[in-house]
C-alpha cells in the first residue's frame, strides 16, 4: 500500500484535505478561490440580512465548476434564480427573508454572471449560525439534489432544523427525467412532514403525479414569456438555424442533411451568455432542439419569431402540440422530413401560419402574469393539486 492509499484509509478528513492541497495544484487554486468567496459571503450576509427575522426561504443552486470556479449555465439554473427573485419581491405575501445557497459540499459560487440577475449566493453552512432565531423555513431543492440533501446536512444543520416550528421542503421538478422516485426522497420525510413538489411544465403537474409521490403538487411554470423577447418577422430574419447543444445519436446525420440546403447557416448554441443567446435567436429563422422537446431551445426562438423543430414526447409536451407539423412523432421522421419542411415553410404565408400556431400555443402556457400568480399561490398554500 502506497502513502496515498494509507492516508486515504486511515486519516481523518482534515489530513486528507492537507494531502490533496499539497499534492494537487487544482486543489490549491480551489482553496484560494473559495477562501476569498467565503470572506465575501460572510461579509455580505451581515450586511444584507436580519439575523433576528423568524422566517426564511432558501433556494439551493448547483455550485461552480471544480476546475474553473465558473457557473454551470443551464435553463434550470436561470429558472431557479428567477423564482428566487420573484419570491424575494413579494415579502408581503410570505413574510420571509429569501436567500440562495449552494448545498454543503458543493463548489462555492458568489454570483451568476452568464445572465442578468441581482442575486448573491451563499453557503448553506452559514445559515444555522447566522439565522439562529429562525422558527419557520421553506427550502426549495432542485430535483436532482433532493435525494442527496439530507446526507449533506451537518449535525448543527440538523439541530437547527429540529428546533423549528415549521420546516417545509419543496422539490423543484424542472425536468421529469431528473426527478427521483418516491423511495429516493424518503430521507426528507425524516426531517419534516411537509413536502411539496413544484413543476416547470404543465405536462407533469397532474393528479397522477400527486398520487404517485403522495404530496401536493403545484405548477410554477418558468420565467419565459413573450414580452421578454424581440419578435422579428420572416422577411427581416437571416436564413439561420440554431441548434440546441444536446447530444443525440442522429444529430450529426441530421445536420449533414441540413447543410445541403442552399444559403442555410447552422449554429449550435454554445459558449454564449444568455444575452448573446437572445440576440442570436432574434436573428434566426429556424430552431432545432435535440433536448426535452418543449424546452427553452424551442420556446424562446418561437417567441423571437422563429419556427422550431422538435420530436414530440409525452413527458414534456401537452397533447395540443401534436397538431404542429414540426413536432415530429420520432427522430427518424424528423430526419426524413425536416429538409423538405424547411423548404416548404420558407415562404411568407406558410411561415407565418406555422409560426403563429407555435407562438399562440407557447403563449398559452408561458405567461409572466400567470407565472407570478402561480408563485404567489404557492406561498399561500393554494396548490394546483392539494
pLDDT band at 329 (very low <50, low <70, confident <90, very high): very high
CA distance 298 to 312: 11
Contact 313, 293 (CB under 8 A): yes
Q: What global pTM score does this model have?
A: 0.79
Pairing label, strands 55-61, 121-123: unpaired
Residues of the chain with pLDDT > 90, as a percent, come to 70
Which helix (DSSP H) or strand (DSSP E) does residue 181 occupy?
A: none
CA distance 311 to 313: 6
Cell numbers for 174, please give them.
424542472
Q: Residue with C-alpha cell 486511515?
A: 10
Looking at per-residue pLDDT, the higher value among 122 and 177 belongs to: 122
pLDDT band at 30 (very low <50, low <70, confident <90, very high): low
What does DSSP assign to residue 111?
B
Q: What are the domain boundaries of the chain?
A: 53-224+370-379, 228-365
- The pLDDT of 176-195, averaged and rounded, is 92
Count Cα atoms within 13 angstroms, Cβ side, for 295: 25
What pLDDT was estimated at residue 36? 87
- The pLDDT of 74-85, averaged and rounded, is 88
pLDDT band at 321 (very low <50, low <70, confident <90, very high): very high
Cell numbers for 147, please give them.
435525494
pLDDT band at 74 (very low <50, low <70, confident <90, very high): confident
What pLDDT was estimated at residue 234? 93
pLDDT band at 31 (very low <50, low <70, confident <90, very high): low
CA distance 136 to 41: 23
- The pLDDT of 32-57, averaged and rounded, is 92
333: pLDDT strictly greater than 60:
yes
CATH number for the domain whose boundaries are 228-365: 3.40.50.2000
Order of strands across the sheet that contains 238-243: 265-268, 238-243, 284-288, 307-311, 327-328
- Is 48 buried (19+), middle (13-18) or exposed (0-12) by CB count in 10 A? exposed
Q: For residue range 195-235, what is the model confidence (pLDDT) as tens digits?
A: 999 998 888 899 999 999 999 999 998 888 898 899 999 99
256: pLDDT strictly greater than 60:
yes
What pLDDT was estimated at residue 384? 95
CA distance 24 to 34: 16
- The pLDDT of 130-137, averaged and rounded, is 96
What pLDDT was estimated at residue 203? 83
As beta bridge partners, residue 100 has 59, 121
Q: How confident is the prediction for the chain on average, in pLDDT?
A: 90
User: Taking Cα atoms as reference points, which of 132, 294, 299, 123 lies closest to residue 226?
Assistant: 299
> Would you tell me the crossing angle of helices 13-23 and 25-48 to the nearest 10 degrees?
120
Q: For residue range 261-298, what is the model confidence (pLDDT) as tens digits?
A: 999 999 999 988 889 999 999 999 999 999 888 888 99
Q: For residue range 337-369, what is the model confidence (pLDDT) as tens digits?
A: 999 999 999 999 999 999 999 999 999 988 888
Q: Which CATH number fits domain 53-224+370-379: 3.40.50, 2.30.30, 3.90.1720, 3.30.980?
A: 3.40.50
Tell me whether domains 53-224+370-379 and 228-365 share a fold.
yes
CA distance 134 to 168: 13
Amino acid at each position: 500500500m502506497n502513502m496515498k492509499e494509507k492516508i486515504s484509509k486511515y486519516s481523518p478528513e482534515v489530513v486528507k484535505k492537507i494531502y490533496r492541497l499539497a499534492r494537487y495544484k487544482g486543489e490549491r487554486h480551489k482553496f484560494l478561490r473559495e477562501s476569498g468567496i467565503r470572506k465575501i459571503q460572510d461579509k455580505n450576509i451581515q450586511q444584507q440580512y436580519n439575523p433576528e427575522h423568524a422566517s426564511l426561504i432558501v433556494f439551493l443552486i448547483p455550485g461552480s465548476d471544480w476546475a474553473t470556479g465558473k457557473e454551470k449555465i443551464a435553463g434550470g439554473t436561470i429558472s431557479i434564480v428567477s423564482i428566487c427573485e420573484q419570491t424575494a419581491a413579494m415579502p408581503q405575501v410570505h413574510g420571509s427573508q429569501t436567500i440562495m445557497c449552494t448545498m454543503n459540499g458543493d463548489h462555492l459560487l458568489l454570483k451568476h454572471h452568464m445572465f442578468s440577475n441581482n442575486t448573491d449566493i451563499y453557503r448553506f453552512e452559514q445559515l444555522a449560525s447566522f439565522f439562529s432565531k429562525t422558527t419557520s423555513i421553506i427550502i426549495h431543492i432542485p430535483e436532482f439534489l433532493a435525494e442527496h440533501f439530507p446526507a449533506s446536512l451537518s449535525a448543527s444543520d440538523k439541530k437547527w432544523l429540529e428546533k423549528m416550528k415549521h420546516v417545509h421542503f419543496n422539490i423543484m421538478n424542472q425536468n421529469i427525467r431528473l426527478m427521483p422516485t418516491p423511495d429516493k426522497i424518503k430521507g426528507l420525510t425524516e426531517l419534516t412532514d411537509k413536502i411539496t413538489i413544484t413543476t416547470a411544465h404543465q405536462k407533469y403537474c397532474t393528479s397522477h403525479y400527486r398520487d404517485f409521490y403522495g404530496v401536493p403538487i403545484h405548477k410554477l411554470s418558468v420565467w419565459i414569456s413573450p414580452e421578454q423577447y424581440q419578435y422579428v418577422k420572416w422577411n427581416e430574419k437571416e436564413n439561420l438555424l440554431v441548434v440546441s447543444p444536446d447530444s443525440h445519436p442522429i444529430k450529426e446525420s441530421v445536420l449533414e442533411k441540413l447543410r445541403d440546403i442552399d444559403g442555410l447557416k447552422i449554429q449550435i448554441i454554445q459558449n454564449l451568455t444568455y444575452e448573446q443567446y437572445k440576440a442570436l435567436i432574434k436573428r434566426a429563422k429556424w430552431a432545432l432542439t435535440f433536448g426535452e422537446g418543449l424546452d427553452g431551445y424551442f420556446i424562446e426562438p418561437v417567441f423571437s419569431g422563429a419556427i422550431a423543430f422538435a420530436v414530440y414526447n409525452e413527458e414534456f409536451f401537452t397533447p395540443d402540440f401534436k397538431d404542429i407539423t414540426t413536432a415530429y412523432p420520432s427522430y427518424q421522421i424528423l430526419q426524413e422530413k425536416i429538409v423538405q419542411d424547411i423548404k416548404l415553410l420558407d415562404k411568407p404565408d406558410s411561415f407565418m401560419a406555422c409560426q403563429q400556431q407555435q407562438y399562440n400555443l407557447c403563449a398559452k402556457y408561458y405567461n409572466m402574469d400567470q407565472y407570478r400568480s402561480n408563485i404567489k399561490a404557492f406561498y399561500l398554500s393554494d396548490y394546483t393539486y392539494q
